[in-house]
Structure 1
Amino acid sequence: MKRQCQVCMHHCLLAPGQKGRCGVRKNENGRILCETYGKITALALDPIEKKPLRRFYPGSLILSVGSYGCNLDCPFCQNYQIARPESGSWEHRSICLSPQELMQKGIELKVAGNIGLAFTYNEPLVGFEYVRDTAKAAQEEGLKMVCVTNGSVCKEIAQEVLPHIDALNIDLKGFTETYYRKLGGDLETVKAFIKQAAASCHVELTTLIVPGENDSPQEIKKLASWVASVDAEIPLHVTRFYPMRKMRDRAATEIETVYQLAEVARTELKDVFTGNC
């Protein structure tokens, strides 16, 4: 019997054994399960600024954790090898760590300056159950919980996870429905998630500037104005595109363009940072 996944805006209707657009949630014996629970493809102790977070424990380190799978299909993805499972059989190239085992790794690295765990690299919330369970355990041990996400999940899933997260960096990829459709997403879903998150924990946003796609001053002005209407204290990271994945035929964004668009955003927001320049 077919079952509908309720995690994101795609609401994939899945036949037995079939996977959704994220590549990792599937109908298993009439239940929608995520095959990535506890499966880790990347672990690194990173500066918090790499997430990027600039207003959350600056100068600290955090243990970054990646799995595989994503519910968008960005042609410029820098982590496409793990974000898009069809790029490789990551199910067989991952290690398994229970929430308690991952938490213990975070605790052991406190002596090296680690403050917590950051779910990142792929889209963490397609496997929200693991994020939720790990965060619950880790916060009880004093670890800070961070999630780097595209924000493309439904309200009910956000309610499961957000109470256990201390900080998020959310990709706000542009500010038109046309652009989000190109990426396989939905702007209104992301806007709703940002509002929900901003009322729950520390939030910073990132917008990657892709030449010819989302690089008009008018769009950035509109984007920044909307963010300010949610909370003018939310930091915005305006970052430079580099050729990657299916967009290797394009030149990197001009550095001056990134700086100019950041200035446009500063007419609406207090904290605007540039990245990849």
Structure 2
Amino acid sequence: MVSGLKEAMLFETLLSGDVRCGVCARRCTIAPDKTGFCRVRKNVGGTLYALNYGYISSEAIDPIEKKPLYHFLPGTTTYSLGTFGCNFHCRHCQNHAISMPDESVYKAMFSDLGLSRFGEVVTPDEVIQRALLLDTKSISFTYNEPAVWFEFVYDTAVLAKENGLSVILVTNGYMTPEALEKLAPYVDAYRVDLKSFTENFYSEICSAHLNPVLESILKAKELGLYIEIVTLIIPGQNDGIEEAESAASWIIQNLGAETPVHLNAFLPHHQMEDIKSTSSAILERLRSIYMNVGLNYVYIGNTISDFQNTYCPECRSLLINRIYSFGESTADLDRIGDEFRCGRCGRIISLICPNDIDF
């Protein structure tokens, strides 16, 4: 058996012998001996198999703020790992070497050659042991889309919960409702990309659609997952004032004004190398729009900015300084049990940080 071969979850076999995958919103119908859009889920004799089970393309110990998550387990480290494949084909992808690898990687998955040249094969238990040994508080499935690694993510998340580790999905938000329902009991944080608030951007830039992303965010909220949102701001593509106002209004109405939002600078990459990096002026203008609509925590990322810091929404005191040291708190942040308050005005600050974490 191919070392990464694992019978998939959430699929149905059709009378024709095709299979329909139920993990992501594409719901690919896959003919025998073919793979879906992600190229890592294959129909073998009317059964869907994951080809990348346990294959690690990338791993690291990161500050959790690098995900970015600013209000969830602040000041801690997370064991980050990813595999190969993706259900988006973003023209600006920063990790295209693993999300859309060349043919040699897929050929290795389809054979008995393994992936020794391309990645390491591990078990869920080995992932847990590494996270514990390295004294991290969480595991982050990141670098590529976790949905295409669904079986491995699920098995690992179940073990993580048993061992007191939090689980984070860094996702494009294209999971189906049934996939989210299956994972939700074992997942804590849903760090989701809202790449744009227009259908045109999703269809032209990502080969995807907007509505399934919005639906997945609402489903994650319904299931009680902690949510932070990231939008990579690409000049001339998703930096319009009306779009910013619409996105901010949707977030407030559906998730609440306390939801952290990250507006990150674009850097020329992949098929969009001809577009200039996002200027500080664009990012700060959009941040002002989001704040004026009513969001309380809007951050600027991928560049040095005072707006990486957390300020009190009431009195604007500096509460957390992240410019030089992620998670460095100031004396103005008081803690009473699990609750944090601004030391100057007493406003409750939305942070998730259990008592056993010294922050």
TM-score under structure 2 normalisation? 0.74
The match for 1:67 among 72, 76, 83 is: 83
Contact 1:66 1:119 in 2 (8 A): yes
For the residue of structure 2 that corresponds to 1:81, the secondary structure is: helix
Say whether residues 1:272 and 2:298 are aligned partners: yes
The separation in 2 between residues aligned to 1:257 and 1:95, in whole angstroms, is 41
> For the Cα contact (< 8 Å) 1:210–1:240, is it kept in 2?
yes
Counterpart of 2:226 (choices 202, 206, 217) is 202
Quick one: structure 1 residues 41 and 101, their matched pair in 2 at CA, closer, same or farther if it must change by over 3 Å?
same
AA aligned opposite 1:63: Y
Q: Which has the larger radius of gyration?
A: 2
**2:92–2:271: 8 Å Cα contact kept in structure 1?**
yes
Residues 230 and 263, structure 2, Cα contact 8 Å, conserved in 1: yes
Residue 89 of structure 1 aligns to a residue in which SS?
A: helix
- The CA distance in 1 between the partners of 2:258 and 2:284, in whole Å, is 20
- Partner residue of 1:133? 155
Distance 1:164 1:109 in 2: 21
Note if contact 1:9-1:186 (Cα within 8 Å) is conserved in structure 2.
no
The answer to whether the 8 Å contact 2:41/2:50 transfers is yes
Q: Deviations over 1:224-252 (max 9, x none)?
A: 10011112221110011000000111111
Q: 1:189-228 to 2 correspondence within 5 Å?
A: 189-199=212-222, 200-228=224-252
Q: 1:87 to 1:172 in 2, by over 3 A?
A: farther
Match of 1:259 among 249, 274, 284: 284
Contact 1:81 1:88 in 2 (8 A): no
SS at match of 1:117: strand
State, as a whole percentage, how many aligned pairs show the same letter: 38
- Asked if the contact 1:23–1:85 (Cα under 8 Å) also holds between the matched residues in 2, the reply is no
| In 2: Cα distance, 1:4 partner to 1:198 partner | 26
Offset at residue 18 of structure 1 (A): 0.7
1:234 equivalent to 2:259? Answer yes
Alignment correspondent of 2:134? 109
Q: What number of residue pairs does the alignment pair up?
A: 274
| Structure 1 partner of 2:342 | none
SS at match of 2:53: coil
Relative to 1, partners in 2 of residues 1:264 and 1:88: Cα closer, same or farther, differing over 3 Å?
farther
1:62 Cα offset (Å): 0.6
The gaps in structure 1 that reach 5 residues or longer are: none
Rounded to whole Å, the distance in 2 between the matches of 1:54 and 1:87 is 37
Q: Is the 8 A contact 2:128 2:156 kept in 1?
A: yes
Q: Conserved in 2, the CA contact under 8 Å of 1:151 and 1:190?
A: yes
Does residue 246 (structure 1) correspond to residue 271 (structure 2)? The answer is yes
Write out aligned runs for 1:86-125 (5 A).
86=102, 89=105, 91=109, 92=115, 93-110=118-135, 114-125=136-147
Opposite residue 160 of structure 2, the aligned amino acid is A
**Matches of 2:102 and 2:297 in 1, distance apart?**
38
What one-letter code is carried by the residue in structure 2 that aligns with 1:158? L
Structure 1 residue 86: deviation in Å?
Answer: 3.2
Q: CA deviation at 1:29?
A: 1.7
Rounded to whole Å, the distance in 2 between the matches of 1:135 and 1:11 is 23
Whole-angstrom CA distance in 2 between matches of 1:2 and 1:275: 44
State the shift of 1:263 in Å. 1.1
Matched with 1:166 is 188
Larger CA deviation: 83-92 vs 28-37? 83-92
Counterpart of 2:93 (choices 77, 91, 114) is 77
| Residue identity opposite 2:124 in structure 1 | P
2:335 matched residue in structure 1: none
Deviation at 1:168, TM superposition (A): 1.8
- TM, length-normalised to structure 1: 0.96
Aligned partner of 1:3 in structure 2 is 19
